[in-house]
Chains A and B, each alone.
Chain A
Amino acid sequence: MLGLFGLLDLGSRSLTTHRQAVEVAGHNLSNVNNPAYARQRLSLATSLPILGDLGPEGTGVQGVAIVQLRSAALDFQLQRERSVLGSLQAQQDALRSAQSALGQLLDRIDTGAAAEGVGTSHSLADDLASLFDSFQSLSTSPASLVERQNVLMKASALAAQFQGVDQRLDHLRAALDSVVKDDTTQANSLLAQIAQLNAEIARAEIAGPGAANDLRDVRQSRIEDLAKLVKIDVVNGELGAVDVSISGTLMVAGLEVVESMETYVSATGQTLLRAAGTGAAMTLTGGRIQGTIEARDGVVAELRADVNSLASLLITEVNGLHQTGYSLTGSTGADFFVGSTAADIQVNSALRDNPALLQAASVSGAEGDNGVALALAQLARKSHAALGQRTFIQGYTDATFRFGHFLASVNTQLTDQEAVEKMLVRQREAVSGVSLDEEMTDLTRFQAAFQASARLVTVVDDLLNTVVNLKQ
């Protein structure tokens, strides 16, 4: 039998338990917009019964634990998918920047003189076509200074476009190197934070019963942030800690960061990653850093190489023909373009200063001859082994096709991956998310229970008063 004081104790325990339940609901409510937060519940259980005259007798309720509603399987899946997402997002960012660097934009409503009613593509293809057209015009009036000036202007515009594209792609490469470095710094910082949180969780969980829910939330959020940067493997260790490895290298073991990443410049000039302690190169398989490196050394580098080989071939072919020609002054053997790559292609300044020196004639002493001008114009349709038996413009469109195709495929993969990630987030939200309606209902429920418990205490107080006043 509990007796009146036992009953008072029961009422008091009930008040405490329901106050705790209201506290938990309040904690949930206040974290409603915290994306890292997983809702918590106070687990209730009956207090230990005592043996009375009528057998075991209930002693009310007590809170046994504050539990977190979280699915480890969903957390694991999300962590994996975030690495794939991070890689694809980084590739898309890099490739879109490369697309801007290329400057290829179809514009059908351009009504400029060069548009010919079909618009422009604001690209190297336009400038290449313009140069070959200007050679055609020159072939009709080989001695005309106006046509010569026109050829030199178109050639200068093409050279400037080649240089512009190459420079923009070079700046992009440098920018992507910086992204790799910054992301590596951030990843190292996250590894340190995870180790720190491991320590805090261990301390908190050793000190008392129950799990350090809020610290675990923060750690899970850091793990997912890290997974977005670099693909990681997470294994549960002792004392509630987790071990983190990257590409088979253990980075965080329990409470310690045992290894960190650093960038280095490889023999081929690429900024890559290695383990700072052992110096072993790390080959990443997912995450933003890997995506950035893959795009930088893959498609973007390929595009730049394609533009470069196009420029080099143009310089060789045009110069080869031009050198054999004769200018209006009878001079011969001069180069049309100087430089050897897209980075340094330029029109020979001697020709720019004096268009009469352009060597359009194929024979000496016949300034009106157009042999070389015609051959240069016909270069537009010549197939080149270096371009896979394609013409200059076809070579360029092939390169943009390969690039565009890759970017389009990354776009599709990213859309799919975003859908996967969104579904997982929704599923996790369904398990761990805070529902205002639920919490408000709980609040009302526990408030009523608290009020009822208080009423019990009042009743017991009245009973005690009655007992105390029996003798009066």
Chain B
Amino acid sequence: MRVTANTFPADLIRHLGSLAGQQTRLHTQASTGQRIALPEDDPGGVGRAVALQSEAGAMAQYQRNIEHQQQTAQATFSLVQALKKISDRAGEIATLADGLKSPEQLRAYGAEITQLIRQTVQIANTSRDGQFLLAGTRSSQAPFALTEDADGSVAAVVYNGNASTNEVEIAEGVTLTSQVVGGNTTGTGPRGLLIDARAGADFFNHLISLQDHLLAGEAAGVAATDRPQLSRDEENFVFQIALNGALQERLQVAESQARQRKADLQQNLSREVDADLAQTLVRLSQTQTAYQAALQTGGSILSLSLLDYLR
């Protein structure tokens, strides 16, 4: 082929341009560690990477949801434990208050029960982030309201919450609730912690009944009515503790699954997007050598011409 004055410079410019382009691409890959960045680089790869990123984001969100549920479950557990202690003491008093005790002694027990009821209300009205734990979904108001008699004893404790709980997603399509409602008299839905129709639990009314029997010195009433009632409450607390344990276990499993899934997704994403650094650097070095060679040979050839030899 006939080589003219412009053939060589045009070729040199084209080669240098193409090598510079390759160097830029490889340098970008080496410095970002990414094989692809824009849709045009690898449309399928970028599409899959975006899907993987959003899925990993969703896993992280599930982890946050699970963490939140765990915190609620732990708070509920502490609460149930405290109530169980009160229930234990009430049961103890109900056992102690037999016919051998004097009316004064029974009244003293009665006064203690009054205090226990007040304490229970206080515990049952525990809130977290401004939301009452046992109020169901009516969570911005205290679930239990106490009314007193003129003599300072407790007349009634009313449940103002509802029997609904919030389901939260902890994995794709899997929802659960860590909420425990204070009372449920409907016989369906979540078990109430203090009041539950199915378990026959009605802790406040049973404590009030115990209080009233003690204050009135009716040891027989305590034995006949209050002890069996309180033992149903006790069973309900035990049931809730077991339920909470199972829930925390399930949350822990879900958390580790989400973590594992996120790690898998990261690996997939890495395979899809990340540059093979060793390969990239070797290719970069090859391209640099070619670029240098092109410059050097180009420079020496361009500087030569017949003009150098004609006089």
List the interface of chain A (C-beta within 8 A of B).
Answer: 32-33, 35, 95-96, 99, 102, 104-109, 114, 116-121, 123, 125-126, 128-130, 132-133, 136-137, 139-144, 328, 361, 363, 365-371, 374, 377-378, 380-381, 393-394, 396-398, 400-405, 407-408, 411, 422, 425-426, 429-431, 433-437, 440-441, 444
Contacts and interface: CB of A to CB of B under 8 A. Distances in A.
Which 3 pairs from chain A and chain B are nearest by CB?
A: A404-B39, A368-B139, A433-B4
Interface stretch (B48-56, B103-111, B247-255): B48-56
Given A136-B169, A381-B172, A404-B46, A107 B56 contact: no
A377 B169 contact: yes
28 contacts: A32-B6, A108-B34, A118-B57, A119-B53, A121-B50, A125-B50, A130-B57, A132-B58, A136-B61, A137-B64, A139-B169, A141-B131, A143-B131, A368-B137, A368-B138, A369-B164, A381-B172, A394-B51, A397-B50, A401-B46, A404-B38, A404-B39, A404-B40, A405-B44, A407-B43, A408-B43, A429-B7, A429-B10
Contacts of A430: 1-4, 7
A121 B38 contact: no
Contact of B5 (A116, A128, A377, A435): A435
Given A114-B57, A118-B53, A429-B4, A369 B310 contact: no
B129 interface: yes
A436 B305 contact: yes
Interface stretch (B85-93, B186-194, B265-273, B285-293): B265-273
A60 B269 CA distance: 82
Given A401-B39, A404-B43, A436-B5, A374 B166 contact: yes
Question: Looking at B37, B54, B58, B138, which has the most chain A CB atoms within 10 Å of its CB?
Answer: B54
A83 B258 CA distance: 55
A136 B46 contact: no
Given A381-B172, A436-B5, A401 B44 contact: yes
Interface residues of B, number: 69
Interface of B: 1-7, 10-11, 14, 32-34, 36-44, 46-54, 56-58, 60-62, 64-65, 68-69, 129-131, 135-140, 162, 164, 166-169, 172-173, 175, 262, 265-266, 269, 273-274, 305-307, 310
Contacts of A365: 138
Contacts of A123: 50
B46 A400 contact: yes
**Prevailing SS type, chain A contact patch:** helix
B274 A380 contact: no
Contacts of B7: 426, 429-430, 433
A33 B5 CA distance: 8
Given A116-B56, A430-B7, A363 B40 contact: no
A177 to B, nearest CB: 24
B168 to A, nearest CB: 5
A431 B7 CA distance: 11
A67 to B, nearest CB: 16
